[in-house]
Amino acid sequence: MSVSCLVVDDGVIDHGVAESGEVLRAIAAAGVRLVFAGNTEPGDDRRARLRTAGLADLFAVVLQSGQLGVAKPGLIFYRLVVAAAGCPPDRVLCVGRDMARDVVGPLVHGMRPVLLRPDGLGPGELLPYGTGLIRCVGELPAFLG
């Protein structure tokens, strides 16, 4: 089943603004809804950082734990992600760099996770079934089909 929504953690943006921006623009141009979902401190607004990077216009919704009062990998946070996606969970692809917050949480809620790890998995880490692994944001489009 094809992806209708891509949920992006701020770690993906941090990975490389130029590459991330190019890839995310292409994904948005293909008609995929983009949602930003990050754990933030109260008062920390990542929208300013997204504007500075020239990426704010790509995201239909920006979910920030510091403003919501709930954080990843919490149940309520991921219910908000599914609502923001505007499609069934199995059509949502989540990409991030943290195993618990960006892989396990989405899997529990029926979404498809992709783990961004430039150096691969750490010692003793196992990739849960159904989870993609990428080393750079440029590999993300392969998971959209």
In the predicted structure, residue 49 carries a pLDDT above the cut 90 = no
The string of DSSP letters for 47-63 reads HHHHHHTT-GGG-SEEE
Query: pLDDT at residue 1 above 70?
Result: no
Question: pLDDT tens digits for 81-127?
Answer: 999 999 999 999 999 999 999 999 999 999 999 999 999 999 999 99
> Which residue carries 């960006």 as its tokens?
102
- In DSSP notation, 64-102 reads EHHHHS--TT-HHHHHHHHHHHTS-GGGEEEEES-HIII
pLDDT tier at 129 (50, 70, 90 boundaries)?
A: very high
CB count within 10 Å of CB 98 equals: 17
Taking CA atoms, 2 is separated from 14, 50, 57, 92, in Å, by 26, 26, 23, 9
Asked whether the CA dihedral 84, 93, 49, 31 is positive or negative, the reply is: negative
The mean predicted confidence, pLDDT, of the chain is: 92
Residue 47 burial (C-beta neighbours within 10 Å; 0-12, 13-18, 19+): middle
Per-residue pLDDT at 38 exceeds 80: yes
Four-point Cα dihedral 112, 117, 120, 125, nearest 10 = -60
